[in-house]
Structure 1
Amino acid sequence: MSDPIAELLHTLSLERLEHNLYRGNSPKVGWQRVFGGQVIGQALVAAQQTVEEAYGVHSLHAYFLRPGDPAVPIIYQVDRIRDGRSFVTRRVNAIQHGHAIFSLMASFQLEEDGLEHQAEMPDVPTPEELDSDGELMRGFIDKLPQAMKNWWERPRPFEFRPVVTDHYLTRDRLEPVQHVWIRTLGEVPDDNPLRAAILAYASDMTLLDAATFPHGRSVWDPQLQMASLDHAMWFHRHNDLSDWMLYTSDSPSSMGSRGFTRGMIFSRDGQHVASVAQEGLMRVRTPKN
């Protein structure tokens, strides 16, 4: 497919094989392993297929167990842990080559009123004040590592506008904080479960970056072995994904070859849409003699 958003919707559309059993495929984009956001989104879709529409996802907690193989389908096995009056719980295992590559727990809730408060959105430049993808590429694409250059040049379902781009070009030690505006490059159907899956897919993008900043490195550093280890997400408020969202993240700690990051996603008007936390492998490769 030439339309990236249509391809994303196709990727998140699973085939039902049997009761509690679904199959998903990976886009043919030349990746050596399945993108973490893809398996998060597909696993959430599988769980949603077993939950009544009145229940919306409010949180998920997941572990990446093995690298996914993009050349073969992924089987999603759903375990209906609990169906309560207010909350529903599902466990999903993603399986390839006879082994679990990923495991997710998701909780769903009937909407209800209650006490409300939220964090304030950081005061950063608007996306219109920042360079577009194309302008960013023209400015420094030739200076980037080949892997990062390939990523920027590939058609994607999302557009990103980072508030600061210093970490792409410098080895200086920077504050472990990042702000990135993100939006879908196409219309998303009026479907809250699907929107939640798309947001979950996107939440795995740029999140680990902040953990590399204090070390003068980036996720594209060939001396770093990086991979998502776990992922947690809380869905606070609905968003139709029709406008820019601010993805702000920080990294309070790295230790033992693991970097820990936290993220918050805000709508343009400052609504706190979702929160994210992730720990990722951040191992410095030992030079070969």
Structure 2
Amino acid sequence: MTLTVSGLIDLLRVRRESGMRFSGCSPLDGARRIYGGQMLAQSIMAMGQTVREPHRLHSMQGYFLQPGDVTKPISFEVRPLREGRNFSTRLVTATQDDLPIFSGAASFQAPEGEYQRFDAIPDVAPPDQMQPEDAFYADQLHLLENCRSHVPMIMRLFERRSERWRAWLDPGPLPPVNGIWCRLRAPCGDDPLLCQALLAYVCDLDLMNTAMRPRGRGSLDKTMQAASLDHAMWFHAPVSPDRWFYYDLAGPCATGNRGLGRGALYQDGFLVSTAMQEGLLRDRHDRRENHQRNETYGPMGR
């Protein structure tokens, strides 16, 4: 299955089953696990459908609990935590076969106040002066053959440009910084909730990779185990994902095989959203050694 932009939009518009219960599915694009950005976006769409006008999403956070299976349907159960005049808060649990795979919460606010202040975009070159993603990776595309990765799908859906692309294998240690111009490859309309969901969908991809760059391991390194653990986003201003926006990324720390990624998204010269994520990057060899050591010496070690 080749997912198009219109297909992605249909995918994110989860179907209401009854009350506050929704259902969704995943594209069969060769990957075995559900892409984390899909869980974020579908959860946003489910929670947002239960909130009355004129409340708008301003923040969300979630935890990835179990790997999702792309071949199985997803059930989303939304629960209202607050139904105020100015703020509404929702909790969502996504399950497959009655097993929770994602839990999240979101806050929605009615418009208020006139004062506004936004950070300006960093001094970076415009997108037409940066290298396209598909051009940089043209001689590495063979690495994606027989590889269960979401990367090809994202490359088809979004045009992305950067000065900081790195090799998928053996890139060597690099500073924990990145910057990417990005836009959806086809129009998506002006539904505010859908635009926010699409932003969450794409911004999941690079936060953990940026935080782990100093370790020098590539994103297709099969000796490593990688996973998103949690994700948080704040939405400061309306955004149009089908127009260029700049994603400024940094990884301020890494410890315990976890890396923290921080991202600021800019459009039309000012900050429109902020994202943070903690992810796991573990050497499979080290994990096997630890498992064998625990079997030999018991849980408390030697």
- Opposite residue 252 of structure 1, the aligned amino acid is P
Alignment partner, residue 71 of structure 1:
71
- Structure 1: segments with no counterpart, 5+ residues: none
In the alignment, the residues of structure 2 paired with residue 26 and residue 145 of structure 1 have an alpha-carbon distance, to the nearest angstrom, of 20
- Opposite residue 273 of structure 1, the aligned amino acid is V
Identity of aligned pairs, percent?
A: 36
Q: Does the 8 Å CA contact 1:210/1:251 hold for their aligned counterparts? A: yes
How large is the Cα RMSD of the aligned pairs? Answer: 2.2
**What SS does structure 1 have at the residue aligned with 2:207?**
coil
Shift in CA distance, 123/168, structure 1 to aligned 2, threshold 3 Å: farther
Which region of structure 1 is more displaced relative to structure 2, 200-209 or 78-87? Answer: 200-209
Residues 154-173 of structure 1 mapped to structure 2, 5 A cutoff? 154=153, 156-168=156-168, 171-173=171-173
Residues 170-249 of structure 1 mapped to structure 2, 5 A cutoff? 171-249=171-249
Q: Structure 1 residue 264 and structure 2 residue 261: aligned?
A: no
In the alignment, the residues of structure 2 paired with residue 223 and residue 3 of structure 1 have an alpha-carbon distance, to the nearest angstrom, of 29
In the alignment, the residues of structure 1 paired with residue 220 and residue 125 of structure 2 have an alpha-carbon distance, to the nearest angstrom, of 25
The Cα of 1:30 is off from its aligned counterpart by: 1.7
Q: Structure 1 residue 284 and structure 2 residue 283: aligned?
A: yes
- Opposite residue 207 of structure 2, the aligned amino acid is L
Deviations, residues 153-211 of structure 1 (Å, cap 9, x unaligned): 54622111122124546543211000011100101112111111111111212121112
The Cα of 1:110 is off from its aligned counterpart by: 0.6
Shift in CA distance, 230/151, structure 1 to aligned 2, threshold 3 Å: closer
Q: Does the 8 Å CA contact 1:237/1:271 hold for their aligned counterparts? A: no
- Opposite residue 282 of structure 2, the aligned amino acid is R
Q: Does the 8 Å CA contact 1:137/1:152 hold for their aligned counterparts? A: no
Deviations, residues 137-157 of structure 1 (Å, cap 9, x unaligned): 33x326856577965554622
Q: Normalised by the size of structure 1, how large is the TM-score?
A: 0.92
In the alignment, the residues of structure 2 paired with residue 41 and residue 171 of structure 1 have an alpha-carbon distance, to the nearest angstrom, of 30
Larger Rg: 2
- Opposite residue 186 of structure 2, the aligned amino acid is G
**What SS does structure 2 have at the residue aligned with 1:50?**
coil
- Opposite residue 103 of structure 1, the aligned amino acid is S
**What SS does structure 1 have at the residue aligned with 2:30?**
coil
The Cα of 1:15 is off from its aligned counterpart by: 1.4
Shift in CA distance, 51/249, structure 1 to aligned 2, threshold 3 Å: same
- Opposite residue 217 of structure 1, the aligned amino acid is R
**What SS does structure 1 have at the residue aligned with 2:42?**
helix
Q: Does the 8 Å CA contact 1:167/1:174 hold for their aligned counterparts? A: no
The Cα of 1:242 is off from its aligned counterpart by: 3.1
- Opposite residue 14 of structure 2, the aligned amino acid is L
Shift in CA distance, 151/200, structure 1 to aligned 2, threshold 3 Å: closer
Shift in CA distance, 25/169, structure 1 to aligned 2, threshold 3 Å: closer
In the alignment, the residues of structure 2 paired with residue 233 and residue 31 of structure 1 have an alpha-carbon distance, to the nearest angstrom, of 25
Number of residue-to-residue matches in the alignment? 287
Alignment partner, residue 5 of structure 1:
5
**What SS does structure 2 have at the residue aligned with 1:196?**
helix
- Opposite residue 45 of structure 1, the aligned amino acid is M
The Cα of 1:240 is off from its aligned counterpart by: 2.0
Shift in CA distance, 22/150, structure 1 to aligned 2, threshold 3 Å: closer
Shift in CA distance, 15/152, structure 1 to aligned 2, threshold 3 Å: closer
Alignment partner, residue 24 of structure 1:
24
Alignment partner, residue 292 of structure 2:
none
Alignment partner, residue 253 of structure 2:
253
In the alignment, the residues of structure 2 paired with residue 19 and residue 221 of structure 1 have an alpha-carbon distance, to the nearest angstrom, of 44
